[in-house]
Amino acid sequence: MARAATSQRKVLNTALAWAVGFLIFFPILWTILTSFKTEAQAIASPPIFLNFDWTLENYAVVQERSNYMRFLWNSIIIAGGSTILGTIIAIPAAWSMAFVPSKRTKDILLWMLSTKMLPAVGVLYPIYLLFIKMGLLDSRAGLVIVLMLINLPIIVWMLYTYFREIPGEILEAARMDGATLKDEILYVLTPMAIPGIASTLLLNFILAWNEAFWTLNLTAANAAPLTAFIASYSSPEGLFYAKLSAASTMAIAPILILGWFSQKQLVRGLTFGAVK
Amino acid sequence: MTKWLETHLPKMVLAPSFIAVLVFVYGFIAWTAWVSLTRSRLLPKYEIEGFIQYERLFASPRWDTAINNLFIFGALFIIIAMVLGLLLAILLDQKIRTEGMIRTIYLYPMALSMIVTGTAWKWILNPGLGIQATVRSWGFENFSFDWLVNPDFAIYTIVLAAVWQSSGFVMALFLAGLRSVDEEIIKAAQVDGIPTWRIYSAIIIPSMGPIFMSAFIVLAHLAIKSFDLVIALTGGGPGYATDLPATYMYAMAFSRGDIGQAASSAMIMMLVVFTIVVPYLYSELRAKND
């Protein structure tokens, strides 16, 4: 709104927006704070906000007792692997739909995207059985494949919306100068497509990192990533809030940091390209 | 050869994605549909027996609870998230400083796994630790907020956490919509001295129909697929008071060893999502032809 709001009003609005922001951020902040408390302080009533003895003990205990590094490594391999594999398969598909569209292109895209809306439970059991047969249960390779397939429609869609923003005239100009298909891809398209590819990678990495349905159902001890680790940690040791918070903080820290330094890509990615 | 490649390459590179989605999604759905018509229990069987699994499903009080919960949860979640999202979008539309940072903070809950953020929510909702204990320690001894452990109210804690997770996302969608309204019309209205709230309610919001539609579709399918939320907060309990269809299916498949029930409940969820997605696809395709 271009209304000439008085600066006083603007300050008020900004303060209100930050107050809401604090409220929204509170559960995350609380997790981080609790991770530095002792178990007794974590469940103190009334709760202690900042005035406690900061300690790193929880982090040490979590690492020592449950080998946090292995879960972290699994998360990185599964999220990273499925993202890279999916992007490699999706780039040619998105390129073809964005630059050589046919009458069916939009139909195919919408159809692909619509499959993402279907509940995963519909395909869970057949995949579970297939995994048992092929010995993929509780393996990182199996999860990389499944998460890649689950997110493939999103990757294709995201890349397509970015590729479409590359002006077609540039390609025509390159062709006039005698560029071959290979030149076009290597020297014209790739440099212009890199920002789009980067934010698609970011979004997909986040989706795969957070994935809980498939990781809980298809892993046990070996290939379990951080989400499965947190879920298992919270049930048998129910009341160890400080340690659970330390484990949780370590699981969300990469996303919080990654997201803060790539705010534009995060917002655009999470809204599937709706917000530029 | 090069000519042939240039005409056929676009189709060839599209094929892997197309085939992967086709086989992976529809092939496996077909398997589930088939098994839902058999007597499968612990192991899948493949002789078709008719609709016995569906009869069992609809006779099950636990499934009944899951469906009821889905309606309560879905309706409240979608309405509250849309209203809050719209209000937050209007707030951020007031030319606020540091908008980029605020937007990121609002979207953080969506970017983090509910399994992990559930840790804090369990503390906040725990009567002995979080909100109830805090308010009581301020001197309001009779204050009560025990939804998490109360079978009649536990489902509302799922609504609360779901709204927290998604309203920033809805805000971002609506904000994009608010910004796409023609500036000239708004300026003209301001020149005419129409108050800001009237400009929003009479001009801007009515022109955002399509955005409301997409927000609704996204939230509705999120509601039906909800799984992490319940696992993170209540695990379906107390008892099975907070079961949703996805957790029902999960319990049948993995702890009850009842594949037939798992398959038939999955098919019902599929049908519900299809009835939401198909009109959406139809309207999108029609928009394309306009």
A261 contact partners, CB below 8 Å, separation of at least 6 = none
Q: CATH 1.10.3720.10 region(s) of chain A?
A: 67-269
pLDDT of residue A273: 64
pLDDT in tens, A225-254: 888 888 877 654 456 888 888 888 988 998
Answer yes or no: is pLDDT of B238 > 70. Answer: yes
User: Which of B109, B187, B11 lies closest to A31, judged by CA?
Assistant: B109
The stretch B145-169 carries a mean pLDDT of 89
Only one residue has tokens 């990781």, namely A215
pLDDT of residue B66: 92
Distance from CA of A181 to the nearest CA of B (A): 8
Answer yes or no: is pLDDT of A4 > 70. Answer: no
pLDDT, greater one: B1 or A3: B1
Distance from CA of A46 to the nearest CA of B (A): 5
Instruction: Determine, for residues A118 and B187 on separate chains, whether the beta-carbon distance falls below 8 Å.
Output: no
pLDDT in tens, A53-93: 888 888 888 887 777 888 889 999 999 999 999 999 898 88
d(CA A267, CA A70): 30
Only one residue has tokens 């993170």, namely B232
d(CA A221, CA A223): 6
Instruction: Determine, for residues A24 and B109 on separate chains, whether the beta-carbon distance falls below 8 Å.
Output: yes
Answer yes or no: is pLDDT of A181 > 90. Answer: no
User: Which of B262, B250, B254 lies closest to B226, judged by CA?
Assistant: B250
Q: What is the ipTM of this complex?
A: 0.84
Instruction: Determine, for residues B231 and A231 on separate chains, whether the beta-carbon distance falls below 8 Å.
Output: yes
d(CA B219, CA B166): 8
Distance from CA of B230 to the nearest CA of A (A): 11
- Across chain B, what does the average pLDDT equal? 85
Answer yes or no: is pLDDT of A115 > 90. Answer: no
Chain A residues lying within 8 Å of B231, measured CB to CB: 212, 216, 231
CA distances, A125 to each of A88, A212, B101 (Å)? 27, 16, 42
Q: Do residues A113 and A97 lie in contact, with contact meaning Cβ atoms separated by under 8 Å? A: no
Q: Taking CA atoms, what residue in B is nearest to A14?
A: B96
At the topology level of CATH, where does A67-269 sit? MetI-like fold (1.10.3720)
Residue A2's pLDDT band, with cuts at 50, 70 and 90, is very low
Which of A97, A125, A251 is facing B32, going by the closest CB pair? Answer: A125
pLDDT of residue B277: 75
pTM over 0.90: no
d(CA B153, CA B158): 10
pLDDT of residue A26: 93
pLDDT of residue B113: 87
Q: Look up residue A131 and give its two tokens.
A: 């995994």
pLDDT of residue B83: 94
Which of A31, A100, A152 is facing B120, going by the closest CB pair? Answer: A31
**What crossing angle do the helices spanning B61-92 and A7-34 adopt, rounded to 10°?**
140
Answer yes or no: is pLDDT of A46 > 80. Answer: no
Q: B34-45 burial string, b = 16+ CB within 10 Å, else e? A: ebbbbebeeebe
Only one residue has tokens 């309606």, namely B71
SS3 A67: coil
Instruction: Determine, for residues B109 and A43 on separate chains, whether the beta-carbon distance falls below 8 Å.
Output: no
Answer yes or no: is pLDDT of B104 > 50. Answer: yes
d(CA B186, CA A81): 48
Instruction: Determine, for residues B270 and A118 on separate chains, whether the beta-carbon distance falls below 8 Å.
Output: yes
> 3-state secondary structure string, A206-258?
HHHHHCCHHHHHHCCCCCCCHHHHHHHHHCCCCCCHHHHHHHHHHHHHHHHHH
Instruction: Determine, for residues B112 and A252 on separate chains, whether the beta-carbon distance falls below 8 Å.
Output: yes
DSSP B19: H
Which of B118, B228, B284 is facing A110, going by the closest CB pair? Answer: B284
The stretch A156-167 carries a mean pLDDT of 85
Which of B124, B273, B281 is facing A118, going by the closest CB pair? Answer: B273
User: Which of B212, B204, B224, B203 lies closest to B266, judged by CA?
Assistant: B224
pLDDT in tens, B260-282: 898 999 999 888 888 887 777 77
Instruction: Determine, for residues B120 and A18 on separate chains, whether the beta-carbon distance falls below 8 Å.
Output: no
How many residues can be counted in chain B?
290
pLDDT of residue B171: 92
Answer yes or no: is pLDDT of A274 > 70. Answer: no
- The count of CB pairs under 8 A between chains A and B is 285
**What crossing angle do the helices spanning A57-66 and A68-99 adopt, rounded to 10°?**
80
Residue A188 burial (CB < 10 Å; 0-12/13-18/19+)? middle
* Centroid of chain to Cα B161: 12
